[in-house]
Amino acid sequence: MLTRFKEPFLIVAFVSALIVLGACSGKPVADQTASAGDSSEHVPAVEKSSTPDDGEKATGPSLVTEGVDKVEMTTGEGKVMTLTMQMLPNSREYQYCELVFNYGEKGNDIYSTSPLARANLQWWDGLDLEALAKEFGAKSVYKNGPQWWSMDEVGVMASEPVKVAGTDMVFGAHLPPGTLKIPKYTVFSPAKHQNLIWKAGKPVYQIIDSKGHIYILQGHKIPANELATLGEKFKKLPEGWKYRVKVLDEDLMMKLTPQKPIPSVQDEFDQIYIRVPD
């Protein structure tokens, strides 16, 4: 089952993605390193593709707030929000939802249910987007998701819980206007804080460009049990690019910061891949 959107979306970021929950524009409050153990980069497991129960709280993946890294960010409404690094262990196939609040020339705000709780699809399907836009002073609101984290542990910058249509969400990013419309398979470098860990012995899903650069899937909207054969479904993959599934021999760690470029691409199914450092 493929998810379609009214507008093309990029998440940074975490992600997840992408959403992914990135500190795309903010004023650092403290610049210290949060200890999150090994941080590796991986992709979703093929052998396990269960869909979480609606409204299930983060009881399996325990929520740990690392109050070390902090960023202050102004929302499209003009509110100043404080974001802290929040870790979500056991995040592989953790399903979550994001809402994108469009403020026109003021940019876009990203709110997410991760890492607070797994996606409540009944709530999601019943959202009144016009009412939400009016309540938050936005021009419009778009759904991004639901989707699943692909890594085994993820750390994202997020605010304290904010009530959105009666459900707790976190504010994760304010994006400048135009950043949500980058063409598919075009390399872009989002600015974000994320700690990502993918464990050895589990499958990862990769896109390799014509220059040999390897990009790993961060969050996925295609169910996990369909990712192994996703390569057969691509219709717009550029010439010289390829998709592959690989089992890692060792943990792959990524600790992303806005101070370093984070080359990324989005596929035709609105999924974000991050380049693996050489």
| pLDDT number for residue 186 | 94
- The pLDDT tens digits of the residues spanning 181-201 come to 789 999 998 888 899 999 999
Q: Taking a C-beta distance cutoff of 8 angstroms, is the pair 192, 21 a contact?
A: yes
Over 50: is that where the pLDDT of 6 sits? Answer: no
**Edge-to-edge, what's the strand order for the sheet holding 264-266?**
242-247, 203-208, 214-217, 272-275, 264-266
Residue 185: both structure tokens together: 């398979």
pTM of the predicted structure, to 2 decimals: 0.74
**Residue ranges of the domains in the chain?**
27-178+188-275
Lowest-confidence pick of 16-25, 69-78, 153-162: 16-25
